[in-house]
């Protein structure tokens, strides 16, 4: 598991608890804490300390399958570090750019549609918020299709308590998740306050319009609701402070993955002649917030919408 944060850490921890041989590639204080104390997996049922190998470089451990769990801006460096590996590479990541990048380096690449509410706010600790099923992790080969490896990976994830099935059309599901993730930047900028959902509406509306104009096949919102059903359950009183970009600002990492979420819509908009001022504003402002060390909630929803209106009037 290359990247052991909110998603990668939860999946690695549960796979190890299910008896699978798992090693994680981590860095900094998180790596030091896992090496010293183990990985603490916090779940509604309680905390479990999972002992597993933790290394700083993927060359320091045996690999049969590599799962990329880092944010998209760190994928390029990870792919270089993995040169020489000839097994399957699994993109347990949001966005839609990682699989294409990985396919330049590796012949067998798999995408995962990640529905896993998790948190990583302190070294050595990751939190899974839903129970008894922590997440839905459908997967498929990139660019399309399924095979015996996809089926085996799905079985392994199921053995660790996740819901997972192979999907030959995995990218249309990942594009639906991309649309849902477009609001991450707005949530990070404004915090989880009244009005944040309304402030995120323009970025999602632009995303829908751009993907439609580009002719990209996207799983519908109705399909997504049907797939989720009542699988993901949040025990009473359990919640998380914010999504992945909110957590990046809260931890002061200095980076967010908005270039690969909102930036994906901006890129497609420019390629197809569709204006995307809301997504460009969200991308630009949250990147600035990350670089400056701003905390979540540095602006109000009204201030964000005002910035969008100014960008719209500028013709961006």
User: If residue 201 lies in a helix (H) or strand (E), which one and from where to where?
Assistant: helix 196-214
Residues 39 and 182 in one domain: no
Residues 236 and 124 in one domain: no
Taking a C-beta distance cutoff of 8 angstroms, is the pair 98, 5 a contact? no
Which pair of structure tokens corresponds to residue 161? 């308590």
Residues 99 and 221 in one domain: no
Residues 255 and 293 in one domain: yes
**What pLDDT score does 241 carry?**
74
Residues 88 and 187 in one domain: no
Which pair of structure tokens corresponds to residue 160? 């660790």
**What pLDDT score does 316 carry?**
58
Taking a C-beta distance cutoff of 8 angstroms, is the pair 30, 6 a contact? no
Report which of 126, 124, 125, 119 is spatially closest to residue 246, judged by C-alpha positions. Answer: 119
Please report, for the domain that includes residue 316, its CATH number. Answer: 1.10.1040.10
Q: What is the DSSP string of 31-80?
A: HHHHHHH-EEEEETTEEEEE--EEESSGGGS--SSEEE-S-GGGHHHHHH
- Domain total for the chain? 2
Residue 175 to residue 205: CA distance in whole angstroms: 14
Q: Which long-range contacts (CB under 8 A, 24 or more apart) does 56-59 make?
A: 56/25, 56/26, 56/27, 56/31, 57/25, 57/81, 58/2, 58/25, 58/82, 58/85
Query: For the chain, which ranges sit under pLDDT 50?
Result: none
Residues 161 and 182 in one domain: no
Residues 164 and 178 in one domain: no
Residues 224 and 163 in one domain: no
Residues 214 and 288 in one domain: yes
Please report, for the domain that includes residue 32, its CATH number. Answer: 3.40.50.720
Residue 263's CB is within 10 A of a number of other CB atoms, namely: 23
Tell me the whole-structure pTM to 2 decimals: 0.95
Label residue 26 exposed, middle or buried (CB < 10 Å: 0-12, 13-18, 19+). buried
Residue 105 to residue 120: CA distance in whole angstroms: 29
Quick: pLDDT tens for 184-238: 999 999 999 999 999 999 999 999 999 999 999 999 999 999 999 999 998 865 5
Domain boundary (168, 190, 225) is at 168
Instruction: Look up the domain containing 29 and give its range.
Output: 1-168
Domain boundary (145, 168, 191) is at 168
Q: Is the dihedral of CA 95, 257, 136, 19 positive or negative?
A: positive
Q: Order of strands, edge to edge, in the sheet holding 46-50?
A: 46-50, 39-43, 125-128, 118-122
Residues 193 and 301 in one domain: yes
Residues 122 and 178 in one domain: no
**What pLDDT score does 313 carry?**
76
> CA 93 from chain center: how many Å?
4
Residue 206 to residue 212: CA distance in whole angstroms: 10
Residues 148 and 2 in one domain: yes
Domain boundary (168, 200, 235) is at 168
Residue 123 to residue 107: CA distance in whole angstroms: 34
């Amino acid at each position: 598991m290359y990247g052991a944060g909110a998603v990668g850490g939860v999946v690695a921890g549960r796979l190890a608890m299910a008896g699978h041989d798992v090693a994680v590639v981590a860095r900094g204080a998180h790596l030091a804490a896992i090496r010293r104390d183990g990985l603490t997996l916090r779940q509604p049922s309680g905390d479990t300390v999972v002992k597993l190998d933790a290394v700083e470089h993927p060359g320091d451990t045996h690999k049969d399958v590599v799962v990329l769990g880092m944010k998209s801006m760190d994928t390029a460096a990870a792919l270089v570090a993995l040169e020489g590996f000839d097994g399957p590479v699994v993109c347990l990541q949001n966005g839609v750019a990682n699989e294409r990048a990985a396919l330049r380096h590796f012949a067998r690449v798999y995408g995962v549609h990640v529905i896993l509410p998790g948190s990583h706010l302190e070294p050595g600790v990751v939190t899974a918020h839903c129970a008894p099923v922590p997440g839905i992790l459908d997967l498929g080969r990139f660019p399309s299709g399924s095979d015996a490896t996809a089926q085996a990976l799905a079985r392994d994830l199921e053995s660790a308590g996740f819901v997972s099935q192979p999907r030959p059309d995995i990218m249309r599901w990942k594009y639906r998740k991309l649309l849902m993730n477009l609001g991450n930047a707005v949530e990070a900028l404004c915090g989880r306050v009244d009005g944040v959902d309304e402030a995120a509406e323009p970025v999602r509306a632009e995303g829908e319009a751009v993907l439609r104009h580009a002719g990209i096949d996207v799983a519908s919102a109705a399909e997504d609701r049907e797939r989720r059903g009542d699988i993901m359950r949040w025990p009473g009183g359990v919640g998380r402070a914010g999504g992945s970009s909110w957590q990046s600002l809260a931890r002061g990492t200095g980076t967010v993955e908005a270039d690969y979420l909102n930036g994906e819509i901006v890129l497609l908009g420019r390629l197809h002649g569709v204006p995307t001022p809301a997504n460009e504003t969200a991308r630009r402002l949250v990147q600035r917030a990350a670089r400056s060390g701003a905390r979540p909630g540095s602006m109000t929803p009204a201030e964000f919408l005002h910035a969008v209106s100014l960008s719209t009037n500028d013709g961006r």
